[in-house]
Structure 1
Amino acid sequence: MNLGIITAAGKGTRLRANINKQFIKLCGKPILAHTINVFQKSELIDEIFILVPAEYIEYTQKNIINKFGFNKVTRLIIGGETRQETVSNALKFIPDKCEMVSVHDGVRPLIYSADVDLLFRKLVEFNTEDTEVRGVILAASAYETIKQINDSDGCIRTIPRETVYHAQTPQTFFKDALIEAYKHAETDNTMATDDAMLVEKIGYKVKIIKGNHENIKITTPIDLFLAELIISKNGIH
């Protein structure tokens, strides 16, 4: 079976709302509800774990999971202080029968179920060709010039933008590789900004699938505005 882990335990305040950003309404329903719906409609996701702050457990169950009939959600888990801790909390509950895991940000609602499914299919395909490939992620190409800087904000060099991609989610892995990576990170006291970094650190290969620049992470008021425009334009969700 395949599992979706949706991280929604952040307490960001940049949207200047009186509720956590993942619960803010986007075109009439909470951002998190849009995101879960994508995984609910996936052909290859069997179960979904949702991770939220402790104080939002009851709210999420009543106003999102029950209200929208998300019957693939089998666990509602308290998240950690960091994203890495949050995913680690989810990994404790993964059933033995699980083969692959897709980890996704709860505030990235502008993906399609087909993208989620494509990552599962590509992971199997890549691993068949090279058994060292244990993960595959969505990533968007850089379209602005990238500069590496020093501590005093001086430019060290210009990085060719055709070699640089912005990592997105979902990020999909074989379960055993992801669990191994997180155990190693805990032992090694490694903090990473995404799951792929941890899997790479223990020597496995991670491939990218070119993603869409519309797959934004909603963290600011302008992000919310753009998301509303994209949904209105594409008619998704």
Structure 2
Amino acid sequence: MQTETPKQFLLLKNLPVLMHTIKAFAQSDTQPKILLVLNKDQQGYWNRLCEEFNFRIPHEVIDGGKERFHSVKNAIHNIEEESLVAIHDAVRPLVSKSLIDNCFKAAEAQGNVIAAVQSSDSVRMLRNEKTSALKRDEIYLVQTPQTFNINTLKEAYNQDFASHFTDDASVVESIGYPINIIEGERGNIKITYPIDLELAELLLKN
């Protein structure tokens, strides 16, 4: 992001990105309990932001881990009740209330579901310095929320970390569970580069 400030704390329409994300879940019909996983070094700054912006949406802060895998593992070990758990990137602040609710409903019926959109671009794979075309109608770009039964998550995250775990679906899939897809949203963008923040501002205005 070309900034020292972690991207989840950057201002988006005069509010930190992370607050937009939490608000989306708090305003959904599902009304889930919100666990925020943050690096210990960032928690004091987050508390100061909550005071500055008078942010009062209830949430529990969980210590983050070395990798995303360990952060999620820390969070799910704090969940004791039978539940469905939606895991969402802090820097996807434009997720709609309807997508959140649809993910919970689909996961309740199917056991798990991840949001994803079909690729609108042509796609090529590079392997051994050679490229080959892939069928773009078979390619899905994975988003979050990724929603699972808590028992499935606990079983999956009981295994050791592996470098090929890029998201929660890959962790769950590795112990033999098929992953279900629900249609995501083009506007559910991930704030990764400076232009993403500009695009998010534009989408919020519209």
Q: Same fold (TM over 0.5)?
A: yes
The residue number in structure 2 matching 1:119 is 103
Match of residue 28, structure 2, among 42, 60, 64: 42
The residue number in structure 2 matching 1:230 is 203
The residue number in structure 2 matching 1:165 is 140
The residue number in structure 1 matching 2:114 is 137
Please give the alpha-carbon distance, in whole angstroms, between the structure 2 residues aligned to 1:18 and 1:149. 33
Gaps of 5+ in 1: 1-14, 128-133
Identity of aligned residues (%): 35
Q: Deviations over 1:134-182 (max 9, x none)?
A: 3101001101111121232x21x31111011001000000000011111
Structure 1 stretches of 4+ with a deviation exceeding 4 A read none
Matched, 1:69 2:56: yes
Please give the alpha-carbon distance, in whole angstroms, between the structure 1 residues aligned to 2:67 and 2:205. 32
The residue number in structure 2 matching 1:220 is 193
Displacement after TM superposition at 1:208 (Å): 0.7
Matched, 1:59 2:45: yes
The residue number in structure 1 matching 2:152 is 177
The residue number in structure 2 matching 1:198 is 171
Please give the alpha-carbon distance, in whole angstroms, between the structure 2 residues aligned to 1:84 and 1:67. 31
Matched, 1:83 2:55: no
Displacement after TM superposition at 1:69 (Å): 1.2
Please give the alpha-carbon distance, in whole angstroms, between the structure 2 residues aligned to 1:141 and 1:38. 23
Displacement after TM superposition at 1:124 (Å): 2.0
The residue number in structure 1 matching 2:124 is 147
